Chains A and B, each alone.
Chain A
Amino acid sequence: MEFPSQLLYAHDQILLAIMIFVIMLGMGSSLTVDDFKAVARSPRGVFIGFLSQFGLMPLLALGLSILLGLDPAFAIALILIGCLPGGTTSNMFAYFSRGSVALSISMTTASTVVALFMMPILLNLYTVRFTSQISETMRAAGAESDFVIPTGNIISSLVLVLLPVIMGMILRKKSPGWAKTAEDTAGFVAIMVILYLILTAFVRHGGLFLQTPIQVYLATIGIGMAGFFFGYWFSRLLGMYPLFQRAISLETGIQNGPVSFAIILLSFNEPVQSQMLWLAILYSTFIVMTSSVITLYFRKKGKFDWDVYKNTQIHNRLFGREYVTNYPKDFLPQRLKNDPSQGTSPAQKRG
């Protein structure tokens, strides 16, 4: 397949860089030092989330690449997506899906830090078969060196993206009002820019949508959906309660798209760069749609256990930490009855 190189012009790249900066600044604006401390307070949830994000998700990406027989460049991009940390979008979706926002924030924070060393390791581990394929093609075309994953560059790009996050955190501390604005604007900017990229791609390379193999569409939609599905049941298997299941599910499926843009632009070159970027753009577009649908579904499905959780939480807030809420016998299903944080809030101990 003849894939157009130079998917983005120079000024698009600048635009994308600004967008990444704004989004990461917005992400930082929503974080406080307390969020890092909170990770230590709920280590179990964060650990299960970690397993789901860095254990499950890259494997799913690898599986999908092999299953769908993706082009090596696309496959590498998909695995890259699979290894990304979570973004702040997942916190918003966790909120609306009646999941634990606290856990979602903790997972985002923890995964962003852990990604610094987990991403290069995983990427090298899972992309071996695809890099060698590319090397062969390149050597056949007369190139002298092998294609390698630019590990050093990836780490420095990650550090570079983390700078605006830290700036955002400082902003939040100095001026909460501006931080709120930055947070709100970031989400809006992200959507605008993704739309812009899609539209320009459409205008400049009209045939691109048709040229893109169906497998790429399936992969970009499927990776998110698979993340939601396996994240949900994996955490259930490890004994998480619905509220946390929903947060882990969304955190697993929703990755920090802007980070992947930064890494692809800063660390990879043609002939793979445009293809990788295209897959990342497609993923970022579809994930907004699929997570909206999943969120609406979770919201409906989780209404009852959320109401129980909320009501007991408010009882403790207003009547004191020692207050115990006893629902009528047949009111709670067995699963919620045993739940230390749902049928009762953590402080509520049953005799």
Chain B
Amino acid sequence: MQKPKNERIAADNLADLYQKAAERFDSLPAFATREKSLKWKPVSFRELYEQGLDLASGLIELGVKARDHVGLFGDNRFEWILTDYAIQFCGAADVPRGRDVSDSEMEYIVGHAGIKVCFVETEVLQNRLLRIKERLPDLQHIIVLDHNARVREGVLKLKDILNTGSSLRNSGDRRVFDRIKGIRPDDLFTLIYTSGTTGRPKGVMLTHENIISQTRNLPGIHNPNDRILSVLPIWHVFERVIEMYTISFGGCTYYSGIQTLGDDMINVEPTFMASAPRLWEKIHEKIIKGVKASHPVRQVLFHIAYFLSKQYRVSEAFLKNKNLQVKKKSWWGSAVLYPFHLVRWLIVLPWFGFFNAAVLERIRLSAGGSLAATISGGGALPIHIDRFFNNVGIPVLEGYGLTETSPVISVRPKLNLIVGTVGPPIRDTDVRIVDLETRKVLFPNKDLPDGGRSMRGEIQVRGPQVMAGYYREEELTRNAFEDGWFRTGDLGMITHNNCLKILGRSKATIVLSSGENVEPEPIEMRLQQSQYIDQCMVVGQDQKSLGVLVVPKQEAFTHNGTPAFSISELAQNSEAKRIIRHEIRRLISASSGFKGYELIRDFRVLDRSFRVGHELTNLFKVKRHVVTEEFSDAIEDLFQNGTKKKI
């Protein structure tokens, strides 16, 4: 019998990929749009390709040149991918943003990228762009994707350009094919502006080679039998790469949304998808709720099944050498543990087999049942969620990457699922670890024990996926690289079984689980204006909201009538806590100019101050990674209990 096929088209650039996919997969569905829960509209690879050529011919007629930047503001829908096809066929690059782009961002991006033609998804976006149009002299044409939108005067409709292009091609217009031939691997396919709370958005330049290398190097066996559910915003490069990857093996992408996700998972039975931690948290919540609502006998069965699965998988990971190895395994430790795990594995196996089949399969069905794997990216997956899905038997392949690395640097392959890591680097990709202060290379380094494994430092990357630079920001681009290696700004290490483990940020920027970037310094500076706060550090990486660690100023409390002999005594004092809570609320508020996601949800008073040489540098700068490690209990406590009460 036939083995699963690994189909993957090798192409030189995206336009080439689109062309070859149409030849190979022809009438197979490429994208499907939801009309009702059991009524979807498919578009084949061939149809998409032909329409893309039509639209491209229309755009060329409109004046779009090769290597132009074309704006594309909207969310996941068929017209988005159609427009992307056309822009690539023109030899141009798109500049994408979602519907939630703010007016000021829109103005900055259109101006900075020199956009002459801009696609907008909806009528509302059209109106907003028109309002700022007079400040954008280069902007010549606005095109609306939505067929039902009422367009204003001077604004074009996607359909009209399609029709123009179609009749041009019918009368023998072949210009688009010359454009396709003219595309070079180092041409941009997209220019993605990343949002930042401080400073201007940065335009990340990604080339055709960047994205094609990803479709080539991502691990996995896929073919036209695969179904992909699309939920993450398409203008994020992660979702984009997964969709391009899907085109390369002939799978079909089904456009879903957060509201319909549960329903769509059951009807579409996806085999693969790009996902984010938030999504898995939601599914986890739903599963637990479902279990709690079920019959008591079945609840007991679930708990037995989960317990057995946990025992089984921990032992299996140990026996297969697929456990998290932050420290090197000692031979005598292994000699003791190996027989223990072997015996436990053998004892649990038959019971696990039964419960896995009878109980856990029902849980898996709530995610469609066919889900062979899902790559989770865009933030760290909380470890208990990670373990839960692994134990239930839904493989969540946590990956790691940044927009600047288009995006995948490493991912846990299905057969090498080491929970707690983000897997080994993908093919053609080199990762090194550099000491934060001495800038010495820690890994790979032959002079260090175990080649530098388990040494902590900044993660740096070299590979075909690394961006060409930030658009018109030479200094920023220079600072982003060190000896030709891209600096991720993340802290990490290589485990003893050669997987990358992320330990935190070396840059100060905090990325919340919602994806918002927060610069902590302005918040901390504001907090330190309080007479009661001596030192503080804002935390919240991968959390829903921010929290702060506070070292109280002892003298201030003494003056105020709350004398204490030590800081640790203050940390226990409820009056001191009340004062600090009041201070935080007073200083960090919407009225003092902070955005909603910059507000502090909870805090912890620390029992000792930061020390120079430990938590502080000689220049009294807070070493964030050291504080994160030293006060990890307080931080964990903050985010575990902190969600209930608000300041």
On A, residues with C-beta under 8 Å from B are 92, 96, 177-178, 180-181, 184-185, 187-188, 191, 242, 292, 301-305, 307-308, 310-311, 314-315, 317-320, 323, 325-328, 331, 333, 336
Contact = CB atoms under 8 A, between A and B. Distances in A.
A68 B79 CA distance: 70
B297 A311 contact: no
B301 to A, nearest CB: 6
Given A184-B297, A304-B2, A304-B3, A326 B269 contact: no
B27 interface: yes
Lowest 3 A-B CB distances belong to which pairs?
A307-B225, A318-B40, A311-B225
Which of A301, A319, A328 is the most central at the interface, judged by chain B CB atoms within 10 Å of its CB? Answer: A328
B306 to A, nearest CB: 15
Given A180-B298, A292-B353, A328-B26, A187 B358 contact: yes
B38 A96 contact: no
B354 A333 contact: no
A301 B1 contact: yes
Contacts of B24: 328
A303 B4 contact: yes
Q: Is the interface of A mostly helix, strand, loop or mixed?
A: helix
Contacts of A320: 39
B5 interface: yes
A180 B295 contact: yes
Nearest to A312: B225
Interface string B20-53: 0000111111001000001111100000000000
Contacts of A319: 29, 32, 40-42
B224 interface: yes
21 contacts: A92-B357, A177-B295, A180-B295, A181-B297, A184-B297, A184-B298, A184-B301, A188-B301, A301-B1, A305-B2, A307-B225, A311-B225, A311-B227, A314-B267, A315-B42, A317-B38, A318-B38, A318-B42, A318-B267, A328-B26, A331-B223
A314 B268 contact: yes
B227 A314 contact: yes
Given A310-B269, A318-B268, A331 B357 contact: no
Interface string B209-234: 00000000000000111110000000
Contacts of A307: 4, 223, 225, 271
A315 B25 contact: no
A304 B4 contact: yes
B359 interface: yes
Interface of B: 1-5, 7, 24-29, 32, 38-42, 223-227, 250, 254, 267-269, 271, 295, 297-298, 301, 353-354, 357-359, 361, 370
A323 B27 CA distance: 11
A306 to B, nearest CB: 9
Given A302-B1, A331-B224, A187 B28 contact: no
Given A191-B354, A305-B2, A326-B28, 4 more contacts: A184-B358, A314-B269, A328-B25, A328-B28
B354 A188 contact: yes
A39 B392 CA distance: 35
B546 to A, nearest CB: 42
Given A310-B370, A318-B40, A188 B227 contact: no
A310 B252 CA distance: 13
B40 A327 contact: no
A141 B317 CA distance: 62
A187 B356 CA distance: 12
Contacts of A184: 297-298, 301, 358-359
A329 to B, nearest CB: 10
Given A92-B358, A302-B1, A317 B42 contact: no
B295 A181 contact: yes
Contacts of A242: 1
Nearest to A304: B2
Contacts of A180: 295, 298
A326 B29 CA distance: 9
A96 B369 CA distance: 11
B27 A311 contact: no
B4 A317 contact: no
B156 to A, nearest CB: 31
Nearest to B3: A304
A333 B227 contact: no
A326 B42 contact: no
Contacts of B358: 92, 184, 187-188
A184 B1 CA distance: 34
Contacts of A314: 227, 267-269
